[in-house]
Chain A
Amino acid sequence: MSPYRIGGGIAALVLAVLLVVVTVQWLRYSDLVWPTVSIGPTTQPSGSSATVGQSTASEPSVTDVLAERTRLQADEANRKPSGENENFVFQRGVSNGDSIAREWLQQAAEQHELLTPPRDVSGLSSLPYRNADRLEQPEGRDWRSEHNSPVRFGGSWLIFGISLALALFLFARGRIQIVEGRSGETVPRFNAIERANHWMTASAFIIMGLTGLVILYGKPLLLPLIGEHGLGRVAWWSAWLHMSAAVPFVLGILVMAVLWLRENLITRLDLEWLRRFGGFLNDDPHKPSADRFNAGQKLVFWGVFLGGLAALASGLALMFPFHWLGYHGMQWAQLMHAIVGLLMVALIIGHIYIGTVGMEGAVDAMWSGRVDRNWAKEHHDRWYARIINEWPRRPSRPATPAE
């Protein structure tokens, strides 16, 4: 068994475990916010997790003091403050925060006659600021659920799932070799501009992908590792880098469109290529026909180009909040940005795989710009046939004697 297949198997195992972990977390997910800081008298023992409601003997508890002051509001004539100033402090640590939070929800449910149904309410405000006139937008809670559960977990499922599929493919089929072996002669595939632009776009995408993932997954994954201040700093830099890297990325995809759009238009060849999955599923030496770009590459092109434009539009909306969109629009823009970003990350993982590990001879195209003749003949026969007519035969090294 080749080292590639072994590597693929190990990766598949690891990814399968990760996928199971993610699935279990998703099923068990409870997104309840509960208190983590307590308040009490200064004589409270440090690092305490004093049980709720218990006050040290002679000291007035927060509950008593504030409750007494609250009652003054019932008597409209009395506006005098009560007693002397107390001196409470806030401290980290609440022992049973989640049960406290659930108790609050229970209490609120019991006050049902006070509760008007949640609805969008807008009015008038003397303030000239955006959204000052909006009293209530309960759909913010919906957006929170969408963001925290389907998008976050769905995204990690997508990424691990795609990676697992690729790892299984590598395990099952191994690295796709050039059937006739390397010929030792090369033909030009991508020129300097194309390659430089590709790597600029790719680097920008890596930066944007990583920083975007920090913003989405920082709280569940990084917070336990680097703590609050660490995450604050990392996330702040991520936000800046994410927006800065957008400039070369957008420039890059526009240049790609100018250079490659015509050659990425869908043709009949692509349907056949897709039907046979590029010929990767069996050892048939006759691969489906393809021109300069095969259907898989065209998928990547359109995915990156259109996805990039969608991410740009939603990203601009997020950078200039409420300039063009209202609450609903901003919430949709954020979700779309995250979903498009995650889809593109999954797509590019596949792209990186096939361009490096997955196929022998592929990385040369974008690295040196020249590819082996046999590789070109095998995978891009139409393109190869065209270019050898335009370019004279120019071996990269002296022809070897026949073996």
Chain B
Amino acid sequence: MSEAQQRLREINWKTDLSGGIQRVAIAHGLAPFGNGKARCNVWNYPDPVPKHREPLYTPRRDLLTQYRTYDDKRHWRLPALFWSIQQKDFSTQFPLVLTSGRLVEFEGGGDETRAIAWLAEFQQQMFAEINPADAQRAGISNGAFIWLATPEGARVKVAALITPRVGPGTVFMPFHFAGWWQGKDLSSRYPQGTVPYVLGESANTATTYGYDPVTYMQETKTTLCQIERA
């Protein structure tokens, strides 16, 4: 076996940070993720071959000519709105993109894992990650409480984590918290002795309407928001 082949055996695509694989893919005109090629034609999906469609709540109105969403649908008795929402422009009032995601310490809705002291201690507060440029514009300092509002009228009160982890124009919230409702602490509503160690706003109070066109899974990963100092 040649030395090059030996070396290739030692490289692990999971931990290789040299970027070689990505460069090769791009050089061949492929996106460096996936294989860049649809492998099948799913004729009974709304899009038989996947194509990009802008989210319902989007700041990129310029992309709507080419990448607009579906017309409103109805499956049997189930109506689902698409274009009737997207055609309205919410981005002037809600200029930031809001996304949600996981924390390693908690799982799911969080009432189980936030009640484990070992885990809860490492994430003691619900927060929103905000880029330093956006934070400066809004006059928000690290750790301060903010009101985060979304187009459907929700307002949640969370702590601000100012970090370059998120790009300018994007806000991230973890979704494992519960026990606060629109700024009010509801710990007294829990049965005696069941209050988890850590409470916070539920991110999906803020995320907005939207359904996957096939599974009707809720849209939690992309919407619009506005932030202000509390």
Contacts and interface: CB of A to CB of B under 8 A. Distances in A.
When A and B assemble into the complex, do they touch directly, with CB atoms less than 8 Å apart? yes
A123 to B, nearest CB: 12
A124 B129 CA distance: 13
B163 A128 contact: no
A127 interface: yes
B163 A124 contact: yes
A5 to B, nearest CB: 69
Interface in A237-253: none
Interface in A119-155: 124, 126-128
A126 B123 contact: yes
B121 A127 contact: yes
A128 B105 CA distance: 15
B122 A127 contact: yes
Nearest to A125: B122
A125 to B, nearest CB: 9
B218 interface: no
Contacts of B123: 126
A258 to B, nearest CB: 43
Interface residues of B, number: 7
Task: Specify the main secondary structure of chain B where it touches its partner.
Answer: loop
B124 interface: yes
B125 interface: yes
A127 B143 CA distance: 12
Interface residues of A, number: 4
Contacts of A128: 124-125
B163 A126 contact: no
Interface string B12-44: 000000000000000000000000000000000
A124 B125 CA distance: 15
B207 to A, nearest CB: 23
Contacts of B125: 128
Interface in B108-163: 121-125, 163
A128 B123 CA distance: 9
A124 B122 CA distance: 12
Contacts of A127: 121-122, 124
A397 B125 CA distance: 80
Contacts of B105: 126
Nearest to A124: B163
A48 B69 CA distance: 80
Interface in A152-196: none
A124 B105 CA distance: 16
Q: Chain B CB within 10 Å — which of A124, A127, A128 has the most?
A: A128
B90 to A, nearest CB: 32
Interface in A75-130: 124, 126-128
A124 B163 CA distance: 10
Contacts of B163: 124
Interface string B56-73: 000000000000000000
B114 to A, nearest CB: 14
Contacts of B122: 126-127
A347 to B, nearest CB: 46
Contacts of B121: 127
B39 to A, nearest CB: 31
A124 B124 CA distance: 15
Interface string B212-229: 000000000000000000
B15 to A, nearest CB: 10
Contacts of A126: 105, 122-123
A127 B198 CA distance: 13
A126 B163 CA distance: 12
A126 B125 CA distance: 9
A127 B105 CA distance: 12
A367 B125 CA distance: 62
A42 B19 CA distance: 53
Interface of A: 124, 126-128
9 contacts: A124-B163, A126-B105, A126-B122, A126-B123, A127-B121, A127-B122, A127-B124, A128-B124, A128-B125
Given A126-B105, A128-B124, A128-B125, 6 more contacts: A124-B163, A126-B122, A126-B123, A127-B121, A127-B122, A127-B124
> Which 9 A-B residue pairings sit nearest by Cβ, starting from the closest?
A126-B122, A126-B123, A128-B124, A127-B122, A128-B125, A127-B121, A124-B163, A126-B105, A127-B124
